[in-house]
Structure 1
Amino acid sequence: METEIPALLRAREMIAPERFTFHSSRMRMKHVTREELAAMDADSDRCALELSDARVDVMGYACLVAIMSMGHGYHCASADRLHGVTVQNDAAAPVITSAGALVDGIRAIGARRVAVVTPYMKPLTEMVVDYIRHEGIEVGDYRALEISDNLAVAAHDPMNLPGIVAGMDVADADAIVLSACVQMPSLAAISTVEAQTRKPVLTAAVATTWAMLRALNLPTRVPGGGTLLSGAY
């Protein structure tokens, strides 16, 4: 959240007049486990309250798996609740979740079946796949990189991703979710994997940026952001 989304917004500033400030409030998590994710999500109201003090125009809840670990459809309940926190602070702001943004982004490009890469352990990855399927999107092949340490997720080399996708069966996929996690970097590999597979590529960070721009009623063209941020959606 704190690296690739600001990078995308900076890239947009090269082609459009709007300028952005970026503010963050952290929910604590060290290991990507179901228990720590639940504790993390419980802290989200505090974060929304703190950020609303800055009178931001839009908020993004970054952790996709924290939302998806709370049960089917939770992205809607979370966004509504956190928006309510901003309203109570007299600083109403729309709230985007990376989980909801990814689902909406997949639908926006017309993809019915996707292949997915996650950094999570297999049980959490299977939960993410189940969540996406519950939203009416088919998931074909998927890869769990099984990185449990949150800092190690952030340190994963994005240029490993083209090789990982090359080892997957993506022939029947309409699109590739290159990183179903805003923590795992992938921005540098998006154009490579789009060229490699000749399919649209999106990520949790790309989808969150797209959803934020839409909430701000701004054009969604961002250089380097792949198909979803081409400006066509």
Structure 2
Amino acid sequence: METEIPALLRAREMVAPERFTFHSSRMRMKHVTKEELAKMDADSDRCAAELSDAGVDVMGYACLVAIMSMGHGYHRKSAERLGQVTRDNGMPAEVITSAGALVEGLQAMGAKKIAVVAPYMKPLTEMVVDYIRSEGFEVVDYRALEIQNNLEVAAHDPMNLPGIVAGMDTAEADVIVLSACVQMPSLPAVTTVEAQSGKPVLTAAVATTWSMLKALDLPTRVPGGGALLSGAY
């Protein structure tokens, strides 16, 4: 969230007049386990209240797996609850979740079948895949990189991703989800994997940026952001 989304919006500043500021409030988590994710999600109300004090226009809840581990459709409940926190504070802001953004981005692209790369341990990855399927998509193949330490997720080399995708069965996929996690870097590999696979590529960070721009009623063309940020959607 704090690296790739600012990078995307800075890239947009090269081709559009709007300028952005970035504000963060952090939920604590060290290991990506279901127990820590539940504790983290419980802390999200505090973060929404803190950020609303700054009068921000839009908020992004970064952790996709925290939302998806709370049960099918939870991204809708979370966004509504956190939006209410901002309204109760007298500083209303639109709330975007990376989980909801991924679903909505795939819908906007007309995707039916997708392939997914995720950094999580296999049980959590399967939970993410199940959540995505519950939203009406067919997951034709997926890879769990099984990185449990949150800082190690952030340190994963994004240029490993083209090789990982090359080893997957993506022939029937409409879209490749290159990183189902805003923490795992993927932005430098988006255009490479699109060229390598001949498929449109989406990431959690790209989808969240797209949803934020939509919430701000701004054009969604961002250089280097792949198909969803081409301006076509």
TM-score bin (small chain): over 0.9
User: SS where residue 45 of structure 1 aligns?
Assistant: helix
1:117 Cα deviation from its structure 2 partner: 0.0
Q: Which residue is equivalent to 1:155?
A: 155
In structure 2, what is the Cα distance between the partners aligned to 1:67 and 1:109? Answer: 22
Task: Give the aligned partner of residue 135 of structure 2.
Answer: 135
Q: Deviations over 1:197-229 (max 9, x none)?
A: 000000000000000000000000000000000
What's 1:170 paired with? 170
Can you give the 5+ residue segments of structure 2 that lack an aligned partner in the other structure? none
Kindly state the Cα deviation for residue 23 of structure 1 after the two structures are TM-superposed. 0.3
After TM superposition, the structure 1 = structure 2 runs for residues 182-201 of structure 1, keeping only pairs within 5 Å, are 182-201=182-201
Q: CA deviation at 1:163?
A: 0.1
> Which secondary structure state, in structure 2, belongs to the residue aligned with residue 220 of structure 1?
coil
Which runs of structure 2 are paired with 1:81-100 in the superposition (5 Å)? Answer: 81-100=81-100
Structure 1 length-normalised TM: 1.00
The AA in structure 2 aligned to 1:79 is A
Name the counterpart of 1:203: 203
3-state DSSP of counterpart to 1:59: strand
Match of 1:184, as an amino acid? M
Identical pairs, percent: 82
- CA RMSD in angstroms comes to 0.2
Matched, 1:219 2:226: no
Q: Distance in 2 between matches of 1:138 and 1:215?
A: 27
Using the size of structure 2 for normalisation, the TM-score is 1.00
- Offset of 1:150 from its aligned partner? 0.1
Deviations 1:69-117 (A, max 9, x none): 0000000000000000000000000100000000000110111000000
- How many residue pairs end up in the alignment? 233
Q: Secondary structure at the match of 1:56?
A: coil
Looking at structure 1, the residues matched to 228 and 164 of structure 2 have their Cα atoms a distance apart, in angstroms, of: 21
Compute the displacement of 1:26 (Å). Answer: 0.1
Kindly state the Cα deviation for residue 67 of structure 1 after the two structures are TM-superposed.
0.1
Unaligned regions of 5+ residues in structure 1, if any? none
- Three-state SS of the structure 1 residue aligned to 2:133 is helix
CA distance in 1, matches of 2:155, 2:28: 18
Q: Which portions of structure 1, spanning 4 or more consecutive aligned residues, are displaced by more than 2 angstroms?
A: none
Show the counterpart of 1:33: 33
